[in-house]
Amino acid sequence: MAFADLLEQVGSTGRFQVLHVTLLSIPILMMASHNLLQNFVALVPPHHCSAHTNLSWFQLSPEETLQISVPLDPAGRPQRCQRYVTPQWHLLNYNGSSAEEGSDGVLQECMDGWSYNLTVMTSTIISDWDLVCDLRSLKEMAQTVYMGGVLAGALIFGSLSDRFGRRNLLLISYLLMAVSGTCTAFSSTFSLFCLFRFGCGMALSGLVLNSFSLIVEWIPTRVRTVT
């Protein structure tokens, strides 16, 4: 006699099945946010090169400092990845030294980092670790690492669940998700962020696969399409 037949004999779908499905489904619904997390933590805020450090000696407004330090793009916005080699005082009708006059218009990379407009998001992985300009490809790499964790988790937890039991693997997945998710939030470097995001991806696969298996196994065949 199959297990499904035993379920039919003891009452089919009852209070236990309803509670069982509900408790296993709640974490799955909450974990779905991990797939969308990249859209928020990797938001690229408006940014431009930081001004020259020696300009702090002059009493300039932020707008004046930006004007003599960073050129404008064709749309009239400060360029994101280049600044003037030396401050362009003539843009303020100031007189610069001969060395400055000889380098008018010459551009360089952002030697002193970037300044970000964080009015929308107070902090993102972009602004925390300067994943812009030459490092902008690392933004997509973070999501790729996460999806790699999802794939690895499906292979590892899927094969181990039949050997060690779905309940045990589900508890391990919960623990891995709690640890990896917490460590991701407090990561001090981009490498650690990617490492813990990989762990979140693995945990998500283990959580979803084992939860669905436990749900389906305890539900009679005739009502499985509903769950």
pLDDT more than 90, % of the chain: 29
Cα dihedral 10→14→20→21 (10° resolution):
120
What is the total residue count of the chain?
Answer: 227
pTM, two decimals, is 0.78
- What integer pLDDT is reported at residue 1 of this predicted model? 54
Check residues 73 and 204 and name the one with the higher pLDDT. Answer: 204
Cα 116 to Cα 69: distance, rounded to the nearest angstrom: 15
pLDDT digits (tens, 9 = 90+) for 24-38: 888 888 777 888 888
pLDDT at 153: 93
Q: Render the burial of 161-196: b for 16+ CB within 10 Å, e for the rest.
A: beeeebeebbebbbebbeebbebbeebeebeebbbb
Q: How far apart are alpha carbons 138 and 163 in whole angstroms?
A: 37
Mean pLDDT, the chain, rounded, equals 83
- Classify residue 146 by burial, with Cβ atoms within 10 Å: 0-12, 13-18, 19+: buried
Per residue in 42-98, pLDDT (tens digit) is 989 998 888 887 776 677 887 888 888 888 888 888 888 988 888 888 787 754 443
19 pLDDT tier (thresholds 50, 70, 90): confident
User: Tell me, what's the pLDDT at 225?
Assistant: 60
Residue 2: what pLDDT? 64
Distances (CA, A) of 36 to 30, 32, 128, 203, 227: 11, 7, 20, 16, 24
Residue 25 pLDDT: 84
Task: State residue 16's pLDDT score.
Answer: 76
Give 62-80 as a DSSP string: HHHHHHHHS-B-TTSSB-S
- Closest to 113 measured CA to CA, from 34, 55, 50: 50
Is residue 101 very low, low, confident or very high in pLDDT (cuts 50, 70, 90)?
Answer: very low
Confidence at residue 197, expressed as pLDDT on a 0 to 100 scale:
95
Q: Are the C-beta atoms of 107 and 71 separated by less than 8 Å?
A: yes
